[in-house]
Each structure stands twice: as C-alpha cells, then as structure tokens.
Amino acid sequence: MKVVVFGASGMVGAGVLLECVEDSRVEAVLVVGRSRSGISHPKVREIVHADFFDYTSIQSQFADRDACFFCLGVSSAGMGEEQYRHITYDLTIAAAAAMVAVNPQLTFCYVSGAGTDGTARGRVMWARVKGRTENAILGMGFKAAFMFRPAFIQPLKGVRSKAWYQPLITVLSPLFPLLQKIVPQYVTTTENVGRAMIQAAAIGYPKRVLESDDINRLAVA
C-alpha cells in the first residue's frame, strides 16, 4: 500500500508513522505536515505544506495513494465553538475533499475520540463538532472510511505527546497494565492504533466507527 499520514508530529500520528515504516504491507508513506516529522526512512517522503485549508498545489500527490491516516487534532480547551469547528471540521474536510476529488478509491481513516457525538446535536461542544466531522467524511464517497475513537492512549516506542496532558500520560503510564485489566474497552496504544489503521486499509472492518476495543481487536487480527 501507498499511504498518506497527516499529523505525524503529534503523538498519535507519530505512532502511526512508526507502524507504517515497520509494516511490510506499506511500501510508501507520504507525510504531509507544517514541519518535518524527524523520521528518516527510505519509505518516507515528506511535504511541508503551509495552508491546511488549500491543497491545490499538492492535490495530485494523492492520486496514487491507497489510504490516508488522518491524525491531526487539537484540544478544545479554551476555544469557542466557531474556532474549534474551523480547525477541526473545516481543516479535516478540506483535506478529505482534496483527496476524494482525485482518488475516490482511497480508504480514509480519521482519528476522532471516545465520546464523540454521532448525532452532532448533543450538548458537549467538542463531541458535537467531532461527530459532524465524522458524518461528513462518511458521506463523501470514499471507497471506505473508518472513524477511530480511542480513549486513553499509551504512547510506545519513544513517542511523546506535545500537548498539555503529556505529564498526565507520564503519571498514568505505570498504571496502564492495571487499566488494561480493569477497563480494557477504554485503553489502547499508539502501536495498536497504527496497526489497526493499516489493517483496516488492507482488509476492512465490519464497523465504520471503531472504539478502543475494536482498535485493539483489529490490531492483533
């Protein structure tokens, strides 16, 4: 497979990129970001792109790709709905629209989050916006689209988050084996997210919306 990865400078995207590099089914990875990922490998080619709302200049690069692993995302903390919608819904749909226009046979995997509101009408702002984003992607006409809704994610293989909650992840990391036993349906790893995305792109999955237990199940399939 030839894949595109968005968000490789973040925790989830970095983990997904590492799995793509290690998986023999992935022959080429196009990384699109505002800065370099820091990973150098013969499979990996990077495009530093400034405007994540306009892909006219690089749209042709998506035409031969089999899958996109879209891992860009920000916390809604301190944001109003209009601002959060612009950098979540508008940004994601701009990329997805650019891809489906030149390559409707592509499989699009989107990292959303546990608690996302699929009705897009609930009271929680971030969940409503994420739900609207999911629904738009699912209706865009891709060959397949999968919404990934992980809850607690344990970063592995040296991956770290740049977000404010990295200290919390560090504190909780020793508890991860216990969380796996007590609430396995709410925990996963960056490794499993990456493996599950590759597997979904390669063979599909019966559900279009994947919670943490689906992600873990698919990762070891």
**Domains identified in the chain and CATH numbers:** 2-219 (3.40.50.720)
For residue 35, name the pLDDT band (cuts at 50, 70, 90): confident
What pLDDT digit, counting tens, does each position of 122-176 carry? 999 999 999 999 999 999 999 999 999 999 888 886 676 565 455 656 666 776 7
Phi, then psi, of 173 in degrees rounded to 5: -55, -45
Q: Please give the Cα distance from 218 to 94 (Å, whole number).
A: 28
Flag whether pLDDT at 219 surpasses 60: yes
Flag whether pLDDT at 208 surpasses 60: yes
pLDDT at position 181: 73
Tell if the pTM clears 0.85, that is, is over it.
yes
Residue-by-residue DSSP string for 58-122: TGGGGTT-SEEEE------TT--HHHHHIIIIIHHHHHHHHHHHH-TT-EEEEE--TT--TTS-S
Q: Please give the Cα distance from 138 to 68 (Å, whole number).
A: 14
What pLDDT digit, counting tens, does each position of 78-114 carry? 899 999 999 999 999 999 999 999 999 999 999 999 9
> Which residue type does 51 have?
D
The mean pLDDT of the chain is 91
